[in-house]
Amino acid sequence: MIDRRGFLGGTALSAVAASLVGRSEAATLPEAASREGAATEPPLSPPSGRPYNPVVTLNGWTLPWRMRQGWKEFHLVAEPVVREVAPGMKANLWGYNGQSPGPTIECVEGDRVRIFVTNRLPEHTTVHWHGQPLPNGMDGVGGLTQPQIPPGKTFVYEFQVRRSGTFMYHPHADEMVQMAMGMMGFFVVHPRDPAVARVDRDFVFLIGAYDIAPGARVPKVATMTDFNLWTWNSRVFPGIAPLPVRRGDRVRIRMGNLSMTNHPIHLHGYEFVVTGTDGGWVPPSARWPEVTVDVPVGAMRTIEFVAEEPGDWAFHCHKSHHTMNAMGHDVPNLIGVDHRGVARSIARLVPDYMVMGERGMADMGAMEMPLPDNTLPMMTGAGPFGALEMGGMFTVVKVRDGLARDDYRDPGWYRHPKGTVAYEWTGPLPGRS
Amino acid sequence: MIDRRGFLGGTALSAVAASLVGRSEAATLPEAASREGAATEPPLSPPSGRPYNPVVTLNGWTLPWRMRQGWKEFHLVAEPVVREVAPGMKANLWGYNGQSPGPTIECVEGDRVRIFVTNRLPEHTTVHWHGQPLPNGMDGVGGLTQPQIPPGKTFVYEFQVRRSGTFMYHPHADEMVQMAMGMMGFFVVHPRDPAVARVDRDFVFLIGAYDIAPGARVPKVATMTDFNLWTWNSRVFPGIAPLPVRRGDRVRIRMGNLSMTNHPIHLHGYEFVVTGTDGGWVPPSARWPEVTVDVPVGAMRTIEFVAEEPGDWAFHCHKSHHTMNAMGHDVPNLIGVDHRGVARSIARLVPDYMVMGERGMADMGAMEMPLPDNTLPMMTGAGPFGALEMGGMFTVVKVRDGLARDDYRDPGWYRHPKGTVAYEWTGPLPGRS
Amino acid sequence: MIDRRGFLGGTALSAVAASLVGRSEAATLPEAASREGAATEPPLSPPSGRPYNPVVTLNGWTLPWRMRQGWKEFHLVAEPVVREVAPGMKANLWGYNGQSPGPTIECVEGDRVRIFVTNRLPEHTTVHWHGQPLPNGMDGVGGLTQPQIPPGKTFVYEFQVRRSGTFMYHPHADEMVQMAMGMMGFFVVHPRDPAVARVDRDFVFLIGAYDIAPGARVPKVATMTDFNLWTWNSRVFPGIAPLPVRRGDRVRIRMGNLSMTNHPIHLHGYEFVVTGTDGGWVPPSARWPEVTVDVPVGAMRTIEFVAEEPGDWAFHCHKSHHTMNAMGHDVPNLIGVDHRGVARSIARLVPDYMVMGERGMADMGAMEMPLPDNTLPMMTGAGPFGALEMGGMFTVVKVRDGLARDDYRDPGWYRHPKGTVAYEWTGPLPGRS
């Protein structure tokens, strides 16, 4: 790993001057790496440039770069992609470099980055570097700060990253449609000194929502509120990777929201603090302890905690419909309370009462219901104790003793020590007061 | 009241060891107290265990416990209940111990609690102790950290409460359905030292939403956004109890949200600060002054203020539809502005224009409209100066001189001193500039 | 400008006593100024009373007052208005003094204000002074703290403003309907010392949403979530005024939300901090850096930043549907990805696939589509580099060198220095890895 301080020299070139140098000398485009699968790739240790502690993108990867004359050069390709939302369902989305979301971009405070963006979509696009302070002409707002990038063309963005933190990228062209189709990616700027704000595990993901009719593969792009797939990195449970964590690790999780509503992300078993937003690091005096962080649309939240308590800790959006997969929201009443002697009066009021689900819906988590092809069950998944009855934005933080520092494989289910699980009462039942 | 410090002794038993002791010796289930009415019960002064300053649950109550060999034992019964949402309407919900929400659980930091949960529902359930740091196997996630609790069975949860604060409990089994049916309850952990963070009044309630068709009694459980009953503790105005406060009191109000959207809770006449979340107490340096606290889903907020200004202060969700009861949201335009000479052009554009409500909807707050049985008017209620035109999440903080410290009865309407109410102008009218 | 300290004298009269004096001696109503256009009026330097640094209301104005015996007297007239939402569309709303929102009220901490409210609506109304600490009888809740103001009548509100900050006013009578019709206004209380919290530019606006069918002029007042016009001060892009800022200025923007959902307001190119809410000023220790501020319903946020980077910086709600104008949300899938060889399988699953927009929707930003009269295109607007494809809550903060301190005219588009805009790559294309 090269110390680039000497290379950049003592005098900071202005972005403009550097840009001109770049134009004349960067004779070729860097390769555009691409991925087809949805596996979580291990963290990419920086092969060149300043050192940093890399992040792990849930069900995603980090975009490689090349160093050229003091610039970190990346190549993003905007294009249609096929994304496996979870085993059993694929969606036709738009994304970058073979996936939706696109690959995570990582660099270091002070880096000069040159990002080539090739448009292989059927319509024009741009890329906006959400949260980055940069020269106005690199802000990526089609029509306002640059011409649109027509299909088939490649545009070049150049700027020096001014502050460390948590960012996103997404189009600012036909914005509603292109984000509804899945165009988004994470962008992490690491501190110049890797010892600053250091953690042991650093996970990132983006929240998005899709409206894909059962059996279909393409999202409806005009849907405003009635989405049916609530995703992290365009994945739903049981397709979202778990977060393996070594007991005692300091853990950071960074989230950005590009859906149409707030998502209150809840972690079981731990209090955490929000240490950063897309606007910067939150000063310690301003931090709130929380167990649920409400991530607004078009905003990012970074949370941190120390993983002292081992186990399988649910980690999910707390809007209960967002831990379900596709379902109808306009069905008749499902639940009868007939054993309390009120069934007759209900039936009188609601003639079509007492259809399926008269005892709740939990049966549906375990039953084999016929579904259209390419459609996920509303609730599914199995844990160590039976059906989990979940979908959507749900996964598990798995805190284990003895996990290797760089091991991000799924460690399986937690083995509870004898006598530490809620247990059945087998004694006599009392009366009630 | 017993100082339990001596009783617990100097050495903290591990949760596991204590659990084993408990299993062998707790020979009987504690009684499961139950309530039928929706009156606000007075605060329950702790009859045993460490002393604390009890909370008041709006239209609710605190669950009694028994002390047994150093454990505080509670008994929750999950079961169908009939809840009076407001006078004139009852709903068939699911809840705990006769009510939805279930009773508030109160204990003290350091307490070892054993909670027996009996399932009298027609489907399996679990209880998740939202926000509590505890051993993984007591976290109550069906399938993940324990087997589901089948109908007819009783499960036992045991943990030592590690920090004071504001918590909830709710199922983590068929979660969308069971919360849509009203299964939730408050859980307060008091500081070990009753002088810490002491206030004079401490109110708690949970926010929930239901979709019950006019004339029906059972909520539609698949509704995602289009709810028609926005409730505090499964009550709507004018069924929500007022908050009587003595002038000069330091007041705390704790809220948790288990609906599907943020609720911005607004208090008239006072600034307050958020002093806590379900993640802990907010340090003073991090507190914001507010008049509206936006409570995210799956999160709790604790606010505090000093009640210096007497009067009847409205306290409500600021989403205007959430201070309405059941209504249609897809009706044609209601308001004509014909006295401004534009009625003809509107009628040309909207042929069905100028139906009911051409002068607004305020008439509906006072009029006698025929309604289906068991249905509340959209707007209702009467105050000291006439129709209030409210519903849903609306009540009044009543600040009075000379209220007894432990008096939580409704003190009636405020008597405004002469000349302190907005008054009619009876002088001449001017022209306009 | 007069120092009013001497005038008010050393002894503060009680509100009650002052009110009685006022009643007997204020023999005439002050004039009710009115505006018809939607231009942004320049800041109103206070002609009387304590000095302060006035705000600029986007597409609005500040209400003049008269001083009378130590009281600042304002006159609001609640009435039907015609508001140009953007060039090409007018709406029939309810508002104050000729406009929706009503004029901004500005005064100074410690001022005694008397506000005459004349009701020219077809139904009763009141005015609630959101966020103001005041005597209960001046709080403006119809039925609870005062009688409703009948049509044709004028009521008088009197109170001393106790703290500086950011407030709103709106009815608390038939509240859902009257706010859905546009009744709201800004209320700024300036610090007693104009040097405190001084900024160079201070903009204010209110967020509201309307549901006006294409071709119609009157909002549907019962809509709860499916609005189609997302407005700032009842204006949409391209009708929202830009925010001209001199490079180096300290800029404050104050927003209040009276719609039915959170609005995450995003500023490009800058980090900012929230310095205030409707509850007061946020202490510096509690401030978070952000690029998107999530403004809850019934709440206000004040943000501040220093405008160091010149350019045209997009400023908008980040919910992508909120930067669109009226559109249908229930249309079939629009986008084919046929060039990737999957069209056939999609068509098999979705028979009505491949209708309009098979390449996205960006064409609609530039095309000439026939629209009903009085209807705005879904996406529109042109910038220096072509079609902007925006609507709704979108405008531009224009940071310029050499702008005069009091110049609030639109400075036109930013002229990017040569080489500072993302540029097209004209070299050879590589393969992909």
Contact A179 C419 (CB under 8 A): no
Contact C291 A216 (CB under 8 A): no
Q: In this predicted structure, what is the pLDDT of residue B293? A: 98
Establish if A272 belongs to a structural domain: no
For residues C193 and C29, give the distance between their C-alpha atoms in angstroms, rounded to a whole number: 30
Q: In this predicted structure, what is the pLDDT of residue C330? A: 58
Contact C420 A260 (CB under 8 A): no
One domain for residues C308 and C332? no
CA atoms within 13 A on the CB side of C164: 18
Enumerate neighbours of B (3 or more CB pairs within 8 A).
Answer: A, C
CB-CB neighbours of C294 under 10 Å: 25
End residue of a domain, out of B194, B226, B257: B194
**What is the distance of C-alpha C227 from the center of its chain?**
17
Which of A34, A133, A157 is nearest residue C271 as measured by Cβ atoms? Answer: A133
- Provide the pLDDT confidence category of residue B360 given band limits of 50, 70 and 90: confident
Contact B333 C181 (CB under 8 A): no
One domain for residues C84 and C192? yes
Which of A19, A218, A274 is the best residue to mutate to test the C interface, defined by the most C CB atoms within 10 Å of its own CB?
A: A218
- Is residue C72 within a helix (H) or strand (E), and if so which, with residue range? strand C71-86
**Nearest Cα to C359, choosing from B128, A123, A311, B174?**
A123
Helix ranges (H only) for C210-354 are 343-349
Residue A330 or B389, more confident: B389
- Provide the pLDDT confidence category of residue B116 given band limits of 50, 70 and 90: very high
Percent of chain B with pLDDT over 70: 84
Is B174 buried (19+), middle (13-18) or exposed (0-12) by CB count in 10 A? buried
End residue of a domain, out of B194, B217, B252: B194
Query: Are the C-beta atoms of residues B429 and C29 closer than 8 Å to each other?
Result: yes
Q: What letter represents residue C65's amino acid?
A: W
Establish if B76 belongs to a structural domain: yes
Rg, chain A, Cα only: 24
**Nearest Cα to C188, choosing from C176, C200, C173, C206?**
C206
One domain for residues C304 and C341? no
Contact A430 B174 (CB under 8 A): no
A345-351 long-range contacts (CB < 8 A, ≥24 apart) are: A345/B217, A346/B92, A346/B216, A346/B217, A346/B218, A349/B215, A349/B216, A349/B217, A349/B373, A349/B374, A350/B213, A350/B215, A350/B216, A350/B218
Establish if C283 belongs to a structural domain: yes
Which of C146, C148, C297 is nearest residue B421 as measured by Cβ atoms? Answer: C146
Supply the mean pLDDT for chain A.
87
Is A283 buried (19+), middle (13-18) or exposed (0-12) by CB count in 10 A? middle
Enumerate neighbours of C (3 or more CB pairs within 8 A).
Answer: A, B
Of the candidate ranges A169-178, B225-234, B359-368, the one whose mean pLDDT is the lowest: B359-368
Which of B319, B353, B360 is nearest residue C177 as measured by Cβ atoms? Answer: B360
One domain for residues C87 and C191? yes
**Nearest Cα to C384, choosing from B280, B389, A147?**
A147
One domain for residues A336 and A190? no
Tell me how far CA of residue C142 lies from CA of A18, A102, B313, B314, in angstroms: 65, 54, 12, 11
Establish if B109 belongs to a structural domain: yes
Residue A21 or B77, more confident: B77
Contacts of A421 in chain B (CB under 8 A): 137-138, 145-146
Establish if B363 belongs to a structural domain: yes
Find the mean pLDDT for residues B131-141. 98
One domain for residues C250 and C336? no
Task: Give how far A161 is from chain B: nearest CA, Å.
Answer: 29
Q: In this predicted structure, what is the pLDDT of residue B369? A: 58
Give pLDDT tens digits for A325-337. Answer: 876 665 555 454 3
> Which two tokens mark B307?
């009640």
For residues C54 and A361, give the distance between their C-alpha atoms in angstroms, rounded to a whole number: 59
CATH of the domain at A62: 2.60.40.420
For residues A224 and A297, give the distance between their C-alpha atoms in angstroms, rounded to a whole number: 13
The dihedral built from the CA positions of residue C168, C173, C179 and C185, taken in this order, carries a sign that is negative
Task: Give how far C89 is from chain A: nearest CA, Å.
Answer: 23
Contacts of C80 in chain B (CB under 8 A): 337, 339-340
For residues B125 and B149, give the distance between their C-alpha atoms in angstroms, rounded to a whole number: 5
Contacts of C142 in chain B (CB under 8 A): 385-389
One domain for residues C304 and C353? no
Which of B82, B128, B178 is nearest residue A360 as measured by Cβ atoms? Answer: B178
Give pLDDT tens digits for A142-196. Answer: 999 999 999 999 999 999 999 999 999 999 999 899 999 999 999 999 999 999 9
| pLDDT at residue A59 is higher than 80 | yes
Q: In this predicted structure, what is the pLDDT of residue C209? A: 97
Contact B374 A349 (CB under 8 A): yes
C192: Cβ–Cβ under 8 A, 6 or more apart, which residues?
C50, C108, C109, C110, C164
Contact A320 B27 (CB under 8 A): no
| pLDDT at residue B65 is higher than 50 | yes
Establish if B346 belongs to a structural domain: yes
Query: Are the C-beta atoms of residues A260 and B253 closer than 8 Å to each other?
Result: no
**A vs B: CB pairs below 8 A:** 285
Task: Give how far C219 is from chain B: nearest CA, Å.
Answer: 7
Q: In this predicted structure, what is the pLDDT of residue C398? A: 98
Which of A269, A385, A433 is nearest residue B31 as measured by Cβ atoms? Answer: A433
Q: In this predicted structure, what is the pLDDT of residue A67? A: 96
Please report where in the chains the tokens 């910086």 appear, as a residue. Answer: C313
**Rounded to 5°, angle at Cα B36 from B31 and B37:** 135
- Binning chain C into helix, strand and coil, the percentages to the nearest 5 are 10, 35, 55
For residues B223 and B237, give the distance between their C-alpha atoms in angstroms, rounded to a whole number: 22
Domain that residue A346 falls in: 328-365
One domain for residues A32 and A180? yes
One domain for residues C210 and C73? yes
Find the mean pLDDT for residues B41-63. 96
Beta strands in A236-385 (DSSP E): 243-246, 250-257, 263-267, 272-277, 280-281, 289-290, 292-295, 299-306, 311-317, 380-383
Please report where in the chains the tokens 């546009």 appear, as a residue. Answer: C182
| pLDDT at residue B394 is higher than 80 | yes
For residues A222 and C344, give the distance between their C-alpha atoms in angstroms, rounded to a whole number: 23
Establish if A175 belongs to a structural domain: yes
Q: In this predicted structure, what is the pLDDT of residue B400? A: 98
Please give the residue of chain C at the shortest CA–CA distance from B267: C131
Contact B218 A335 (CB under 8 A): yes
Find the mean pLDDT for residues B33-38. 94
For residues C164 and C195, give the distance between their C-alpha atoms in angstroms, rounded to a whole number: 13
Residue B21 phi/psi, 5-degree rounding, is: -60, -45
Q: In this predicted structure, what is the pLDDT of residue A359? A: 79
Contact C222 B331 (CB under 8 A): yes
Establish if C415 belongs to a structural domain: no
Which of B335, B350, B358 is nearest residue C213 as measured by Cβ atoms? Answer: B350
Enumerate residue ranges in chain C where pLDDT < 50.
Answer: 1-26, 334, 336-356, 431-433
Tell me how far CA of residue B168 lies from CA of B103, B132, B165, in angstroms: 11, 9, 10
One domain for residues C346 and C207? no
For residues C368 and A334, give the distance between their C-alpha atoms in angstroms, rounded to a whole number: 48
Contact C175 B389 (CB under 8 A): yes
Task: Give how far B286 is from chain A: nearest CA, Å.
Answer: 4
Query: How many domains does the structure of chain B reveal?
Result: 2
Which of B324, B422, B432 is nearest residue C156 as measured by Cβ atoms? Answer: B422
**Rounded to 5°, angle at Cα B51 from B4 and B71:** 45
Contacts of A334 in chain B (CB under 8 A): 177, 220-222
Please give the residue of chain B at the shortest CA–CA distance from A316: B298
Residue C179 phi/psi, 5-degree rounding, is: -75, -35
End residue of a domain, out of B159, B178, B194: B194
**Rounded to 5°, angle at Cα B98 from B201 and A292:** 55
Which of B386, B421, B430 is nearest residue C148 as measured by Cβ atoms? Answer: B386
Please give the residue of chain B at the shortest CA–CA distance from A227: B224
Enumerate neighbours of A (3 or more CB pairs within 8 A).
Answer: B, C
The β-bridge relationship of strands A185-190 and A105-108 is parallel
CB-CB neighbours of B431 under 10 Å: 7
- Provide the pLDDT confidence category of residue B329 given band limits of 50, 70 and 90: low
